[in-house]
């Protein structure tokens, strides 16, 4: 991949952690990998593991809650510090951080603006702010490539009961990144839906979703072995990035490939 400045949010567990492990050995000499997540201990542990890979990769990590202004400021400051000094060849930004919201609630239960605003602050606002900050900090450099990935979901295009926050957050992010693809034709933009992953989030889906039919649907996915291992889905994303033939702004699902 040559010298790359790579930024990955939600890196401490699940899909983000698996993706970090696949990306690190592919990043060429002089590359920098900036990992962002809320949980400091698992993040530091992952960074130490990736630094021990022997490739001389510079790994930086910032523990920050992207849902609050202070955390978002810290993350943005790290981008402004690391990216201009990083390698000029390639920028890869993966917006993976996200949360389900309170899936025990129906649409009619969602009447508290603070709850709703804090959900969108983390799941939509932070992705927009970090992406614009990263693209500005890296800048337009002759001969360099810039790729932005949004970790999307089937929920961006299909409604699910009790998931009003999650579905609307994912749909909003998809559209936001489609606008980026239109405005910045020299930035490669991908909305990647990784499929139903075998993660803590799926455990919540099976146990906390208010609608009984939905809970049973997720339970059946698990019982029939249809949940996808994070590494398998992350590998498909890496393949997509390596082939680089996707239409910028496209929504590509795990099952489409």
Q: What is the mean pLDDT of residues 75-79?
A: 98
Where do the domains of the chain lie, and which CATH numbers do they carry?
4-195+230-251 (3.40.50.720)
Per-residue confidence (pLDDT) for residue 86, from 0 to 100: 87
pTM above 0.85, yes or no: yes
**Closest-CA residue to 64 (of 139, 122, 143):** 122
Dig out the tokens for 230 from the structure. 């994070």
Residue-wise pLDDT tens digits, 210-222:
999 999 999 999 9
Contact 36, 9 (CB under 8 A): yes
For residue 168, what are the β-bridge partners?
none
pLDDT at 88: 85
The 3-class secondary structure across the chain, one letter per residue, is: CCCEEEEEECCCCHHHHHHHHHHHHHCCCCCEEEEEECCHHHHHHHHHHHHCCCCCCEEEEEECCCCCHHHHHHHHHHHHHHHHHCCCCEEEEEECCCCCCCCCCCHHHCCCHHHHHHHHHHHHHHHHHHHHHHHHHHCCCCCCEEEEEEECCHHHCCCCCCCHHHHHHHHHHHHHHHHHHHHCCCEEEEEEECCCECCHHHHHHHHHCCCHHHHHHHHHHHHCCCCECHHHHHHHHHHHHHHCCCCCCEEEEHHHC
Mean pLDDT of 45-74: 94
**Section 46-56 average pLDDT:** 89
Question: Could you tell me the pLDDT band of residue 208, with boundaries at 50, 70 and 90?
Answer: very high
Q: How far apart are CA 154 and CA 212, in angstroms?
A: 20
């Amino acid at each position: 991949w040559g010298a790359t400045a790579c930024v990955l949010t939600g890196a401490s567990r699940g899909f983000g952690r698996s993706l970090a492990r696949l990306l690190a050995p592919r990043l060429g000499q002089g590359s920098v990998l900036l990992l962002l997540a809320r949980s400091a201990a698992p993040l530091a542990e992952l960074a130490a593991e990736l630094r021990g890979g022997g490739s001389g990769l510079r790994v930086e990590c910032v523990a920050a809650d992207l849902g609050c202004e202070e955390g978002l400021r810290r993350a943005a400051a790290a981008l402004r510090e690391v990216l201009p000094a990083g390698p000029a060849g390639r920028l890869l930004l993966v917006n993976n951080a996200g949360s389900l919201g309170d899936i025990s609630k129906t649409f009619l239960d969602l009447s508290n603006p603070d709850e709703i605003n804090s959900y969108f602050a983390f799941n939509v606002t932070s992705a927009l702010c970090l992406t614009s900050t990263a693209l500005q900090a890296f800048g337009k450099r002759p001969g360099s490539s810039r790729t932005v990935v949004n970790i999307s979901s089937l929920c961006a295009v299909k409604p699910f009961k009790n998931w009003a926050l999650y579905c609307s957050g994912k749909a909003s992010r998809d559209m936001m990144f489609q606008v980026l693809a239109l405005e910045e034709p020299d930035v490669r933009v991908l909305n990647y839906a990784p499929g139903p992953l075998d993660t803590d989030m799926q455990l919540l889906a099976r146990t906390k979703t208010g609608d009984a039919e939905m809970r049973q649907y997720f339970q059946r996915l698990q019982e029939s072995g249809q949940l996808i291992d994070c590494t398998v889905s992350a590998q498909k994303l890496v393949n997509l990035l390596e082939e680089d033939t996707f239409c910028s702004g496209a929504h590509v699902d795990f099952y489409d490939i």
